[in-house]
Structures are given as C-alpha cells and as structure tokens.
C-alpha cells in the first residue's frame, strides 16, 4: 500500500468524499467517491503534479483541478 496523505472533502455535487496524494515527491491526485448506489469508486488524475502543487491543492481541498488533466479509474484502492 502506498503511503498517502488522505483528506475528507466537504459534501459536493460530484459525490467525491476524499482526496489523497503521495506523502513524499511528485504525485497524481487520488479521489474516492460513492456511486448513486453507494459503491466505492476510486480515481486518479492522468497527470502527475509536482510536490508543491500537489500539496497546495491537497491542503486547500481543490479536487476539481484533477479534471483539467483528466481522470481515470485507479488501481490504488482501500486508502480510506
């Protein structure tokens, strides 16, 4: 399991509940959401963010920046 910083998100229209980044180094941004039926869904950005950029987005809760680079299903799951 990767070592991730995990942050709960405030309620939003997209159904994302948490975001995460690597604790050290450049990172994709990971998102966790729930489907309409309550199933876990795991995503990650297609692009890699620099350490400082990933941390800035993480600490401010700016999960929407992931959409600019694209989003894909993630194989990194179970981190919440």
Residue 1 pLDDT: 62
Question: CA-CA distances (angstroms) from residue 32 to 39, 66, 67?
Answer: 10, 12, 14
The domain limits of the chain are: 4-73
Q: Calculate the dihedral angle through the C-alpha atoms of 52, 57, 58, 63, rounding to the nearest 10 degrees.
A: -150
Query: Can you tell me the distance from the alpha carbon of 64 to that of 57, in angstroms, rounded to the nearest whole number?
Result: 9
Q: What is the pTM of this model?
A: 0.93
- Taking the chain (80 residues) in runs of 10, the rounded mean pLDDT of each run is 91 94 96 95 97 96 91 96
């Amino acid at each position: 399991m990767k070592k991730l910083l995990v942050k709960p998100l405030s309620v939003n229209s997209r159904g994302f509940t948490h975001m995460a980044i690597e604790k050290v180094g450049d990172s994709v941004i990971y998102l966790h959401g729930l489907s309409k039926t309550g199933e876990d869904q795991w995503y990650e950005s297609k692009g890699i963010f620099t350490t400082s950029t990933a941390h800035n987005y993480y600490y401010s809760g700016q999960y929407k920046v992931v959409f600019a680079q694209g989003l894909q299903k993630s194989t990194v799951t179970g981190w919440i």
